[in-house]
């Protein structure tokens, strides 16, 4: 379940059926946005609900099925509920009647496995208050916030909101700069944005829009033009940009047009450094040269889209890598945030897209199985730069002399 275009913090609500998860959502939102029923199992698949928590700000709250669901369908719902933990920034585990057992421990294990902070809320305290013994047990075992809650007491909501503020990582709602650390006041950034068959009608792609905004936020100047206009523009204006950023597919043209004393990179590499596992990308990209006949390469798209006859991930990258290596390779594409193949160790390389439609946590969790299995990883832009012979130049704006000394270049 992807965050999609939502960059707001994602809070996931988990607990057994009929523990009051939907009631808590409605209380926090101060409106009826979740179906409340006395019948267990009303909520089935995870559902995203966008709203603003008074005193905190806009969030996306993920309402999930009961972790104690039963039957064949119930097992599938539980599986989807656990998978949703990969997409959230904070987990809220709801318990009632002082009941804390294997269902709750399994969810907490998923929180920990995905490095997700969490709080525990003992709901329906008006019927049965949380015992001091259980509170101490959970706090001592998991070192998390645990408190009583009842929708009949509005003060409880204030306590939950305050706890959310204290627990959720700043990275969930504070967005770092894409290129701000490379710029000074008034610097000029050249953005090379081709308008081709894959460009959306009437608009720019999200990474281009994000970069324009980031340049403006850092009091610099964006100059946006198509690849065929670069030579004439630079010659006519005699402007020397502080930085040039191109679409990855135009790397070769941009490399020849942009003077070599001007740093050049791509939108995809900017995203790789902004939200991806950049260090492992640096290590993994050169392994493209080590691919052998019969090797399997996995390409990960983080969103679903219409596939054109010249699709970057499904057509162009496989063709470029095959031509570069001269090897007979097998390529597989997994779109959306579907699970990676169980046989991940059988792949020689994993190539992740820029991830413009998902968060850093989702992207890191996406490729973690490959990293933990020792499978080299890279991203679209870095792989394209490598096979087109301009990898060194494309990553140079973002690496230090220390990294160069480690022979990543």
- 3-class secondary-structure state, position 277: coil
pLDDT for the residue numbered 304: 56
Match 């792949």 to its residue by tokens.
347
132 conformational bin, left if phi > 0, alpha if psi -120 to 50, beta if neither: alpha
All domains in the chain, ordered by first residue = 10-172 (3.40.50.300), 180-269 (3.40.50.11420), 276-405 (3.40.50.11410)
Q: What is the pTM of this model?
A: 0.70
Distance CA 252, CA 390 (A): 8
The DSSP string of 110-124 is HHHHTT--EEEEEE-
pLDDT for the residue numbered 22: 79
Element (H, E) at 163: helix 154-167
Please name which of 151, 27, 25, 18 lies closest in space to residue 92, comparing C-alpha atoms: 25
pLDDT for the residue numbered 176: 76
Residues of the chain with pLDDT under 50: 1-6, 34-44, 305-309, 401-409
Structure tokens at 252: 């070769």
Q: Which long-range contacts (CB under 8 A, 24 or more apart) does 333-338 make?
A: 333/298, 333/299, 333/300, 333/301, 334/298, 334/299, 334/300, 334/301, 335/301, 335/303, 335/304, 336/2, 336/301, 336/302, 336/303, 336/304, 337/1, 337/2, 337/86, 337/87, 337/302, 337/362, 337/366
Please name which of 165, 179, 293 lies closest in space to residue 245, comparing C-alpha atoms: 179
pLDDT for the residue numbered 295: 97
Distance CA 128, CA 365 (A): 38
How would you class 343 by CB atoms within 10 Å of its CB: exposed for 0-12, middle for 13-18, buried for 19 or more? Answer: exposed
Element (H, E) at 266: strand 264-266
Element (H, E) at 243: strand 243-246
pLDDT digits (tens, 9 = 90+) for 343-376: 999 999 999 988 777 778 788 888 889 999 999 9
Q: At what angle do helices 102-113 and 71-83 cross, to 10 degrees?
A: 30
Output the CA torsion 102→106→108→111 (10° steps): -170
pLDDT for the residue numbered 152: 77
Work out the number of other CB atoms within 10 angstroms of the CB of residue 186: 9
Element (H, E) at 14: strand 10-15
Query: In whole angstroms, how far apart are CA 57 and each of 50, 54, 93, 162?
Result: 11, 6, 21, 12
pLDDT for the residue numbered 235: 94
Distance CA 375, CA 399 (A): 23
The DSSP string of 89-157 is SEEEEEEETT---HHHHHHHHHHHHTT--EEEEEE-TTTSPPPHHHHHHHHHHH---EEE--TT-HHHH
Are 382 and 391 in contact by the 8 Å Cβ rule? The answer is yes
Query: In whole angstroms, how far apart are CA 3 and each of 12, 50, 302, 333, 403?
Result: 12, 11, 10, 20, 33
Distance CA 221, CA 187 (A): 6
């Amino acid at each position: 379940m992807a965050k999609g275009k939502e960059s707001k913090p994602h809070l996931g609500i988990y607990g057994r059926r009929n523990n009051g998860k939907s009631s808590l959502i409605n209380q926090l939102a101060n409106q009826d946005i979740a179906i409340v029923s006395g019948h267990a199992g009303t909520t089935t698949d995870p559902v995203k609900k966008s709203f603003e928590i008074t005193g905190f700000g806009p969030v996306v709250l993920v309402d999930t099925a009961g972790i104690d669901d039963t039957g064949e369908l119930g097992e599938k719902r539980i599986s989807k509920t656990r998978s949703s933990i990969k997409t959230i920034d904070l987990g809220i585990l709801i318990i009632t009647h002082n009941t804390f057992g294997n269902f709750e421990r399994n969810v907490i294990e998923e929180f920990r496995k995905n490095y997700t902070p969490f709080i525990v809320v003992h709901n329906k305290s008006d019927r049965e208050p949380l015992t001091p013994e259980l509170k101490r047990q959970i706090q001592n075992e998991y070192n998390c916030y645990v408190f009583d809650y009842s929708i009949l007491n509005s003060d409880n909501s204030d306590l939950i909101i305050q706890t959310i503020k204290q627990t959720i990582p700043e990275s969930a709602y504070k967005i770092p700069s894409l290129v701000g650390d490379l710029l000074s006041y008034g610097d000029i950034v050249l953005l090379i944005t081709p308008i081709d068959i894959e460009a959306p009608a009437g608009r720019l792609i999200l990474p281009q829009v994000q970069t324009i905004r980031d340049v403006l936020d850092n009091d610099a100047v964006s100059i946006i033009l198509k690849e065929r206009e670069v030579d004439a523009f630079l010659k006519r204006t005699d402007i020397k940009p502080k930085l040039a950023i191109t679409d990855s597919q135009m790397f070769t043209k941009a490399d020849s047009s942009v003077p070599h004393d001007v740093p050049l990179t791509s939108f995809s590499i900017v995203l790789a450094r902004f939200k991806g596992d950049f260090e492992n990308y640096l290590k993994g990209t050169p392994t493209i040269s080590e691919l052998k006949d019969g090797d399997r390469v996995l390409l990960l798209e983080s969103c679903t889209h219409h596939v054109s006859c010249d699709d970057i991930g499904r057509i162009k990258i496989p063709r470029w890598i095959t031509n570069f290596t001269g090897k007979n390779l097998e390529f597989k594409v997994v779109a959306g945030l579907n699970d990676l193949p169980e046989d991940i160790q059988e792949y020689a390389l994993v190539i992740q897209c820029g991830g413009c439609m998902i968060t850093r946590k989702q992207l890191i969790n996406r490729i973690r199985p490959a990293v933990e299995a020792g499978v080299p990883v890279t991203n679209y832009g870095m792989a394209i730069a490598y096979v087109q012979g301009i990898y060194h130049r494309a990553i140079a704006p973002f690496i230090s002399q220390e990294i160069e000394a480690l022979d990543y270049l």
